[in-house]
Structure 1
Amino acid sequence: MSAPTTHFLDTRVERDVAVLTLRRPEKLNAMNVATRLRLASAIREFGTGDRVRGIVLTGAGRAFSAGEDLQTPPTSYADLRAAVETFHDITRAILETKVPVIAAVNGIAVGGASEITLCCDARIGTPATEYFQPENGRGITISNASSVLLARLVRNHAMRMVLGSPRIVAEEALRIGLLDEIVAPDRLLDRAIEVVVEWTPENNTTALHLALLRPAPDEIESAFAREDRAAQKSWESGVFSSGVADFWAAQQDRGQGNAQPFAHKNNRLDRP
């Protein structure tokens, strides 16, 4: 059972589990606003529990997602605010579901894409999985309620991840709590689906436990409000626009064009 690709997102149902795949491999699955709107809609559609037992979110190719598509950056604060809101709404959609949501992190997860995985109920990776939070050196601020969710998962590691922007490889991600499991690449989707099946036995109270174990809505909305204020200050100071301009200038200097949208302009962690 499958649906056609819409806005770089494929949806299919396998073993009564919805598999949502970011499918823009030539751009490392970088997400535009349309893709994020479609993703939130699909999560809500399948998240009722009427059609499937759970949801798996993954990416096509060698990356989970390079995050925000900086090819078309906002040109006004209103545009920025609208873009950030689409990230926030994915978090809302996931936390409102009645079924488990599992992130199958097949490769590098950058910025807003890595933040999307933080509100999932489990994160399963492969040896190729990496986390990378480059926002601090790009004039961009974090979103998706990650100001709460990241620290909730990794505690004191959150500060160095955001401020220092190191790449967190799979083994370290497992050690600090970003990943729950590491499996072979050819087992990733099967294992994610297995977890959904394990968590939704016959006569289950899974929906009730999800509501008890996930962060409370007021905590999430409070984080959104703080993150929105930070984004506004970044825009009004000119740091956001300068950071994005410097990023593209650095890309052109290396002759890479759009090939690696997650390269970091300061620490030059730009390998594929």
Structure 2
Amino acid sequence: MFETIRYDVKDGIAWLYLNRPDSLNAFVAQMNREVKEAFKAASNDEQVRCIVITGEGRAFCSGQDLSEVDEKMDHGQVLRDHYGPMIKQIRQCEKPIIAAVNGVAAGAGFSLALACDFRLVSERASFINAFIHVGLIPDSGNLYYLTRLVGEAKALELSILGEKVKAEDALNMGLATQLISAESWEEDVSAFAKRIASLPTKAIGLIKRYLKAVSENSFEDYLEHEAQGQRIAGLTNDHREGVKSFMEKRKPVFSGQ
């Protein structure tokens, strides 16, 4: 089905592997399209309760493949045609998304990791806002997400200096959810994904939806959105299971419904 990525669904988890290891999983237009298609498929699959995106080989994603860049290229149109639709598809997905950053995440690869809900980071990984090194500005939603994670001053520093952020520093500044040793990488990523997949999936989707609404509405309007969302959550099977398990003093078993 795909040529530049690998997509598998197992135990309620969709695993999306960027699969151009010889180029450190650099983006080409086809990869943009295939990532978008994979996220659309995962969003529409009732069996999928969590999505993990990672890289094959020793990198997460090194950004744009510069072999596709030429002097006549309209970089703005490239964003409109390829990166923008991909990032929008990710943002529209209401299922929990984990970036398993196994190696370098540079340029648009950094942006991709930022667009996810959680960033599990290997001790061998690093982040680089590399756009400045080719005379460009951060794109693919980079500054939108980066500013929210680390603040305006640090986002400016990372973008203008373009220096490598090591894994431990990423954790300290709030870029990483969890730092994982190389030895236990696969086991710990899988355990985290299974934990997220076991939670009430529809409630997570509503949390993501209304977090976006915080900055887009007045406080009064947000409270109404919140009430609408809580009504939806209150009608789910997972809510009923949560209440029942609490009363029965046992751990809940959520179905994602």
Q: Shorter-chain TM-score: which interval?
A: 0.7 to 0.9
SS at match of 1:143: coil
Which of 75, 79, 87 is the matching residue for 1:84? Answer: 79
Distance 2:141 2:213 in 1: 10
Distance 1:140 1:24 in 2: 24
SS at match of 1:56: strand
SS at match of 1:162: helix
- Give the alignment's TM-score, normalised by structure 2: 0.76
Match of 2:194 in 1: 197
Distance 1:48 1:196 in 2: 19
Match of 1:172 in 2: 169
SS at match of 2:98: strand
| C-alpha distance 193-92 of structure 1, shift in aligned 2 (>3 A) | farther
Distance 2:156 2:58 in 1: 27
In the TM superposition, what are the counterparts of 1:78-117 in structure 2 within 5 Å? Answer: 78=74, 80-85=75-80, 86-117=82-113
2:47 is the counterpart of 1:41 = no
2:155 is the counterpart of 1:154 = no
Which of 207, 227, 232 is the matching residue for 2:205? Answer: 207
SS at match of 1:12: strand
2:9 is the counterpart of 1:13 = yes
SS at match of 2:57: coil
Aligned-residue identity in percent: 24
Q: Provide Cα deviations, 1:219-262, integer angstroms capped at 9, x if missing partner.
A: 9xxxxxxxxxxxxxxxxxxxxxxxxxxxxxxxxxxxxxxxxxxx
Counterpart residue identity of residue 18, structure 1: A
Q: Is the 8 A contact 2:130 2:159 kept in 1?
A: yes
What's the CA shift for 1:120? 0.4
Q: Is the 8 A contact 1:115 1:144 kept in 2?
A: yes
Match of 1:69 in 2: 65
Segments of 5+ residues of structure 2 without an aligned counterpart are 218-257
Distance 1:93 1:48 in 2: 12
What's the CA shift for 1:187? 3.4
Counterpart residue identity of residue 29, structure 2: V
What's the CA shift for 1:82? 3.4
Q: Is the 8 A contact 1:115 1:146 kept in 2?
A: yes
Match of 1:25 in 2: 21
Segments of 5+ residues of structure 1 without an aligned counterpart are 220-272
CA radius of gyration, larger in:
2
SS at match of 1:102: strand
Counterpart residue identity of residue 21, structure 1: Y
| C-alpha distance 203-57 of structure 1, shift in aligned 2 (>3 A) | closer
User: How many correspondences in the alignment?
Assistant: 214
SS at match of 1:52: coil
Distance 1:164 1:210 in 2: 32
| C-alpha distance 74-89 of structure 1, shift in aligned 2 (>3 A) | farther
- Give the alignment's TM-score, normalised by structure 1: 0.72
What's the CA shift for 1:216? 6.9
What's the CA shift for 1:218? 6.5
What's the CA shift for 1:194? 3.1
